[in-house]
Amino acid sequence: MVYTLFKRVTGAALLTVSLFSPAVMASDKLEISGFGRIVAGYLDDPNVEFEAYTNQVSFTEQSLLALQADYHLLDNLTVTAQLLAHSSNERDSGLEWLYVSYAPSPLWQVKAGRMRTPFYQYSDVIDVGFAYPWISPPQQLYSAFLFNQYDGVSLIRRFSFGDFSASVEGYYGVFDGDTTFQERSYPTDINNLAGIVFNGMFNSNLRVRASYIMADFSLDLEEITQFSDLLRSFGFNQSADSLTMQGEFDIYQLGVAYDSLDYNLASEWMEIQSNTVLAPNIVSYYLSGGMVFQPVTVSLTFADMIVDPSTAASDIPFGLSPDLDQLYYGYQTIFAQTQASDLQSLTFGVRWDASYNIAFKAEVTHFKGALGISTFQPREGRGDFDESANLYQLAMEFVF
Amino acid sequence: MKFLSHSRHLVTAILLSLGSATSLAQQYDIKVVANVDNPAIKLDKVAVRNLFMGNASDVLLKPVSLPPETLTRAVFNTKIIGLTEARIQSYWSQMRFSGRSREPDQMSTVDELLSFVSSNKGTVAYVPADVEIPPHLTVVYSTDKL
């Protein structure tokens, strides 16, 4: 059954690739291109799920197909739209990007509209699996944020000096929509999102990236908000505040990558700081190395997420009355459920570039970490989690 | 003759697809030609690389490329860019789908490439070292040290 599905989807994908490759030139003014991926995953622990993967083989968590249309109004003025169809329940299908881009010279570019937030090296191409070596980029960085789009403007300035060429991008915008995690959607407001990204390239082999982002955020967690309001009505403001997902965050990022004909090395580090108890301060990084045996690349990645634990509020007295004790336990339980936990992983992956626009990947990741909001979720009616699990994944990635 | 040339292409294609592009490419040379007013213009390897990778560059020339399966492109990748075709394709997918830059236009044969550069001022392309260059084009870089 699964095999038939895989065959059908693969067949459709191959057909799409062969029909359209390379980028179709519908006319001089309109360019249609796209990308897609079929990803299968299996988690070997029956007691938990990770990024919606369980101990049942699933093809739907990360598989997707996207079309991009670039319409050139003038030589230097382009409208771009990217439509994405996603098979996961956690992701909405629809318009991912819609922006106007104006490039008065090769050194300047202005974009305005709906764009992807460029948090880390691959954040704005997280759906384009063809663009990166892994099937799942290190979750310690790439799933630790709540939204991935913004509506706003972006300005890019490129420059070069000697062997070094670089670009600086500044952007400003807002996000008003839903974010989904643990299979539920929550209304989210991001305001005053401002960021700056520096990308440098030395020869074409050594790349460095540094970025800084800040924003005001507000997330309505519904039943948690209701409980927080209840606590406030009893006068337990400290406890109530600690269950509010509202405040400011800052993200710092540094990345370096070296690519040659025979091997590659990459590392990224990020730190999230927030003034909200529910959004903990996090430091994550990964180190990755790969050997190229054309057309196959074999790689090993170590990634780590260190969470600075938040302290629960202590203004609800314990042992005074059964009602208060119930409130106390309710608060402690909800607080514990909203905490993130440390996560370590070691990933071994193989990428086979079967042709210049199709790649096949296989990957196994060994995770170590406790239950937490962006890591392992307990499954109902199952046993205790021993805080370690392996995720096996297979993927086909294509661009056209 | 036609059959011979076909089978030579077939062999090249098979070798490229088997991934021995790098070692094969080392045996060949290419030159980079531009349609510019000043025939004294010379570029260094980094400038050529920046032009063809969509980076900022001091020279404003429009690069034109050959398709991925050609040997000349494999030589260019190996000797100038220093990356495998697969890595370059990943790079361009990142650039295109994040709206930052797009890969150079492609011409399917060296002849088409040369005639395009010949008739378009301010364009630049790479061709095999042994190809005859129209007199009004300038060789701005060569991998052949002679």
pLDDT digits (tens, 9 = 90+) for A251-293: 999 999 999 999 999 999 999 999 888 888 999 999 999 999 9
Mean pLDDT of B30-53: 93
Residue contact A131–B58, C-beta within 8 A: no
Q: Is A174 helix (H, G, I), strand (E, B) or coil?
A: strand
**Shortest distance, CA B146 to any CA of chain A (angstroms):** 24
Q: Within an 8 Å CB–CB cutoff, is residue B3 touching chain A?
A: no
Residue contact A399–B93, C-beta within 8 A: yes
Contact, A201 vs A166, CB < 8 A?
yes
Partners of B17 on chain A (C-beta within 8 Å) are: 295, 355
**Shortest distance, CA A67 to any CA of chain B (angstroms):** 10
| Residue A13 confidence (pLDDT) | 46
Structure token pair of residue A187: 């209304």
| Residue B21 confidence (pLDDT) | 60
Domains observed in chain B? 2-142 (3.40.190.10)
A:B CB pairs within 8 Å = 115
User: Looking at the predicted structure, is the pLDDT value of residue A1 above 90?
Assistant: no
Partners of B87 on chain A (C-beta within 8 Å) are: 259, 264, 292
**Shortest distance, CA A12 to any CA of chain B (angstroms):** 21
What does DSSP assign to residue A146? S
**Shortest distance, CA B90 to any CA of chain A (angstroms):** 4
| Residue A125 confidence (pLDDT) | 95
The chain A residue lying nearest B94, using CA atoms, is A131
Q: Is A130 helix (H, G, I), strand (E, B) or coil?
A: helix
Q: State how far the Cα of A353 lies from the Cα of A132, in Å rounded to an integer.
A: 12
Q: State how far the Cα of A359 lies from the Cα of B113, in Å rounded to an integer.
A: 29
Q: How many percent of chain A have pLDDT more than 70?
A: 92
User: Looking at the predicted structure, is the pLDDT value of residue A144 above 60?
Assistant: no
Residue contact B82–A101, C-beta within 8 A: no
- The mean pLDDT of chain A is 89
Q: Is B52 helix (H, G, I), strand (E, B) or coil?
A: helix
Which 302-321 residues of chain A touch chain B by CB within 8 A? Answer: none
Residue type (1 letter), A50: F
| Residue A170 confidence (pLDDT) | 98
Q: Within an 8 Å CB–CB cutoff, is residue A357 touching chain B?
A: yes
Q: State how far the Cα of A149 lies from the Cα of A131, in Å rounded to an integer.
A: 19
Q: How many percent of chain A have pLDDT more than 90?
A: 68
| Residue B16 confidence (pLDDT) | 57
Contact, A109 vs B83, CB < 8 A?
no
Instruction: Name the more confident of A22 and A281.
Output: A281
Q: Within an 8 Å CB–CB cutoff, is residue A348 touching chain B?
A: no
Q: How confident is the model at residue B128 (pLDDT cuts 50, 70, 90)?
A: very high
Report the complex ipTM. Answer: 0.87
Q: State how far the Cα of A350 lies from the Cα of A360, in Å rounded to an integer.
A: 8
By Cβ distance, the residue of B58, B69, B83 closest to A259 is B83
Residue contact B46–A125, C-beta within 8 A: no
Exposed/middle/buried for residue A362 (C-beta within 10 Å: 0-12, 13-18, 19+): middle
User: Looking at the predicted structure, is the pLDDT value of residue B60 above 80?
Assistant: yes
At a CB cut-off of 8 Å and minimum separation 6, what does B145 contact? none
Say which CATH architecture domain A2-399 belongs to.
Beta Barrel (2.40)
Q: How confident is the model at residue A5 (pLDDT cuts 50, 70, 90)?
A: very low
Q: How confident is the model at residue B15 (pLDDT cuts 50, 70, 90)?
A: low
Partners of B85 on chain A (C-beta within 8 Å) are: 353, 356
Q: How confident is the model at residue B13 (pLDDT cuts 50, 70, 90)?
A: low
Residue contact B46–A166, C-beta within 8 A: no
Q: Within an 8 Å CB–CB cutoff, is residue A111 touching chain B?
A: yes
Q: How confident is the model at residue A177 (pLDDT cuts 50, 70, 90)?
A: confident
| Residue A9 confidence (pLDDT) | 44
Mean pLDDT of A67-86: 95
Domain ranges of chain A: 2-399
Helix axes A223-233, A322-337, angle to 10 degrees: 140
| Residue A375 confidence (pLDDT) | 83
| Buried/exposed code over A283-293 (b: 16+ C-beta within 10 A; e: otherwise) | bbbbebebebe
Q: Is A321 helix (H, G, I), strand (E, B) or coil?
A: coil
Partners of A82 on chain B (C-beta within 8 Å) are: 97
Partners of A357 on chain B (C-beta within 8 Å) are: 89
The chain B residue lying nearest A129, using CA atoms, is B90
Q: Within an 8 Å CB–CB cutoff, is residue B17 touching chain A?
A: yes
**Shortest distance, CA B1 to any CA of chain A (angstroms):** 29
Residue contact B93–A295, C-beta within 8 A: no
Q: State how far the Cα of B58 lies from the Cα of A76, in Å rounded to an integer.
A: 19
Q: Within an 8 Å CB–CB cutoff, is residue A161 touching chain B?
A: no
**Integer angstrom CA distances of residue A334 from A186, A218, A225, A323, B103:** 17, 19, 11, 17, 50
Q: Within an 8 Å CB–CB cutoff, is residue A156 touching chain B?
A: yes
By Cβ distance, the residue of B85, B97, B99 closest to A356 is B85
User: Looking at the predicted structure, is the pLDDT value of residue A15 above 80?
Assistant: no
Partners of B20 on chain A (C-beta within 8 Å) are: 294
User: Looking at the predicted structure, is the pLDDT value of residue A97 above 50?
Assistant: yes
Partners of B53 on chain A (C-beta within 8 Å) are: 201, 204
